[in-house]
């Protein structure tokens, strides 16, 4: 059975199957945020941040 | 995000992937080769320094002459290493990568050998230790005996890979989302609203943010390193242990950048305190050394003196006098730390 610290935290409050889904959503959200913030906004040619 | 971080992270993930495929020491050899290639690409000078020192040290320690002249060998090699560190600090046109970390790793091995607690390492083992990519650039300053033990029992499992990947993800998130984005923007907003405030107060606020930024960025780098090592089945020493829960300033330095503070405690604080028979000298010497390890400047000499003073005062007041007193000591930690920047900046501006 898979076990990681974040999954253990989710499992404390949610049923096991829901904890896995929550973990996937959490990972996805983090990866999207990291990817977007990693590059300066001009890479995407869009103002996703309130840049002055 | 800097190009250096991106390169190191990509090489780190590639190295971890290869070390998972190749079992045993062969996997670590692949990591070592990849590490050398990365270092040669990023900074040829650092690669030459690290390769040369990683050959000279184990070869020298194995000679009969070195075994008969341990103190002279230690003094010579340590002087050469510290001279290398000093040169790396004063040549601003050259990019040096991870010198302050691998110099401390070398010194640790030399001192342990001098104390006869460690045999001269073999060259392959020493290369695997010094060129272990996850910890090469930003620590933790792991110890050789533990690394050797971990090498001998290295085992890649599903759990180790998953836990390692999660640690890497959380570490990168801590650097990119919290330290580089949220805290930086928060500091910019606060600074913009404080233009008319006194300089001391401005520096105090930016000092507060600096500690938070160091925790989330450097803690993030440590998490990435520990996570990458975990993926390949190697457990590396932790660098932070809930520093916000520190009972006092002495306890804080046991929880903050643990691999550096334990290095300084073992090889500087203990011997200096014992030599002068006065723990305060050990505290000041250790903290000044820690400051100079960050940067050779008057600011960091003052930084070390300030932290040393905090530790000495804490040790003097250390006996608990009830709950309120315990809380005062606990509160003194953030107050003392955040006052570092304004106080030290004020005194160094007088020089």
User: B195-225 pLDDT, tens per residue?
Assistant: 777 777 888 888 888 899 999 999 999 999 9
The answer to whether the CB atoms of B173 and A34 lie below 8 A apart is yes
Residues on chain B touching A3 (C-beta within 8 angstroms): 159, 162
Residues in chain A: 52
Return the residue in A38, A50, A52 with the most chain B beta carbons within 10 A, the one to mutate for interface testing.
A38
Contact B229, B164 (CB under 8 A): yes
Nearest CB among B159, B162, B177 relative to A33 is that of: B177
Q: Which residue intervals of chain B are DSSP H helices?
A: 3-21, 24-42, 44-62, 64-68, 70-90, 99-114, 123-130, 133-136, 144-152, 158-173, 184-192, 199-231, 249-255, 258-264, 270-276, 279-294, 298-316, 323-350
In terms of Cα–Cα distance, which of B226, B217, B238 is closest to B5?
B217
Residue showing tokens 């309120």: B324
Shortest CA gap B211–chain A (Å): 22
Residues on chain B touching A33 (C-beta within 8 angstroms): 173, 176-177
Neighbours of A46 (CB within 10 A): 9
Contact B225, B135 (CB under 8 A): yes
Tell me if chain B has a CB within 8 Å of the CB of A13. no
The answer to whether the CB atoms of B158 and A38 lie below 8 A apart is no
Domain borders along chain B are 3-152, 158-231, 243-350
Residue of B nearest to A51 (CA): B185
Distances (CA, A) of B232 to A25, B58, B283: 26, 25, 37
Return the residue in A1, A2, A3, A4 with the most chain B beta carbons within 10 A, the one to mutate for interface testing.
A4
Contact B88, B98 (CB under 8 A): no
Nearest CB among B163, B166, B177 relative to A34 is that of: B177
Residue of A nearest to B165 (CA): A4
Tell me if chain A has a CB within 8 Å of the CB of B162. yes
Instruction: Indicate the pTM of the whole model.
Output: 0.88
Residues on chain A touching B163 (C-beta within 8 angstroms): 4-5
Which residue ranges in chain B fall short of pLDDT 70? 1-2, 318-320
The answer to whether the CB atoms of A4 and B163 lie below 8 A apart is yes
End-to-end CA distance of chain A: 48
The answer to whether the CB atoms of B6 and A30 lie below 8 A apart is no
Nearest CB among A3, A27, A37 relative to B181 is that of: A37
Q: How many CA atoms lie within 13 A of B28 on its CB side?
A: 24
Distance CA B196, CA B194 (A): 5
Distance CA B183, CA B187 (A): 6
Neighbours of B337 (CB within 10 A): 21
Distance CA B226, CA B234 (A): 8
pLDDT digits (tens, 9 = 90+) for A1-52: 677 888 889 999 989 899 999 999 999 999 999 988 887 666 555 555 555 4
The answer to whether the CB atoms of A39 and B1 lie below 8 A apart is yes
Contact B109, B54 (CB under 8 A): no
Cis? peptide before B268, omega within 30° of 0: no
pLDDT on residue B4 = 77
Contact B282, B308 (CB under 8 A): no
Q: What is the DSSP string of B22-39?
A: S-HHHHHHHHHHHHHHHH
Determine the 3-state secondary structure of B102 from DSSP.
helix
Shortest CA gap A16–chain B (Å): 17
Distances (CA, A) of B246 to B81, B218, B282, B331: 34, 18, 21, 9
Percentage of residues of chain B with pLDDT beyond 70? 98
pLDDT on residue A52 = 47
Contact B175, B216 (CB under 8 A): yes
């Amino acid at each position: 059975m898979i076990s990681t610290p974040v999954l253990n935290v989710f499992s404390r409050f949610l049923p096991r199957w829901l904890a896995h889904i929550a973990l996937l959503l959490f990972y996805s959200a983090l990866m999207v945020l990291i990817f977007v913030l990693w590059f300066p906004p001009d890479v995407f040619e869009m103002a996703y941040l309130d840049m002055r | 995000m800097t190009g250096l971080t991106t390169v190191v992270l990509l090489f780190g993930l590639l190295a971890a992937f290869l070390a998972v495929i190749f079992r045993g020491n062969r996997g670590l050899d692949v990591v070592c080769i990849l590490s050398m290639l990365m270092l040669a690409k990023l900074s040829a000078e650092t690669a030459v320094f690290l390769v040369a020192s990683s050959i000279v040290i184990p070869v020298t320690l194995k000679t009969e002459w070195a075994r008969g002249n341990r103190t002279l060998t230690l003094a010579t090699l340590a002087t050469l290493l510290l001279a290398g560190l000093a040169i790396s600090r004063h040549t601003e046109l050259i990019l040096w990568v991870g010198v302050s970390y691998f110099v401390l790793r070398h010194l640790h091995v030399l001192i342990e050998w001098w104390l006869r607690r460690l045999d001269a390492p073999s060259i392959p083992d020493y290369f695997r230790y010094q060129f272990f990519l996850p910890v090469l650039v930003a620590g933790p300053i792991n110890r050789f005996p533990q690394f050797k033990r971990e090498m001998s029992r290295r085992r890649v499992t599903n759990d180790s890979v998953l836990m390692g990947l999660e640690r890497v993800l959380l570490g990168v998130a801590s650097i990119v989302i919290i330290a580089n984005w949220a805290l930086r923007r928060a500091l910019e907003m606060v600074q913009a609203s404080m233009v008319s405030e006194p300089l001391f107060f401005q520096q105090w606020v930016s000092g507060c943010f600096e500690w938070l930024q160091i925790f989330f960025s450097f803690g993030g780098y440590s998490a990435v390193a520990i996570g990458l090592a975990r993926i390949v089945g190697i457990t590396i020493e932790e660098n932070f242990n809930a520093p916000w829960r520190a009972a006092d300033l002495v306890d804080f330095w046991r929880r903050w950048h643990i691999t550096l503070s334990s290095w300084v405690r073992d090889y500087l604080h203990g011997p200096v305190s014992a030599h002068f028979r006065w723990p305060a000298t050990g505290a000041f010497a250790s903290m000044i050394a820690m400051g100079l390890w960050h940067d050779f400047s008057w600011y960091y000499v003052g930084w070390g003196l300030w932290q040393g003073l905090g530790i000495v005062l804490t040790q003097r007041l250390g006996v608990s006098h009830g709950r309120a007193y315990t809380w005062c000591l606990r509160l003194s930690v953030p107050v003392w730390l955040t006052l570092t920047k304004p106080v030290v900046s004020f005194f160094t501006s007088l020089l």
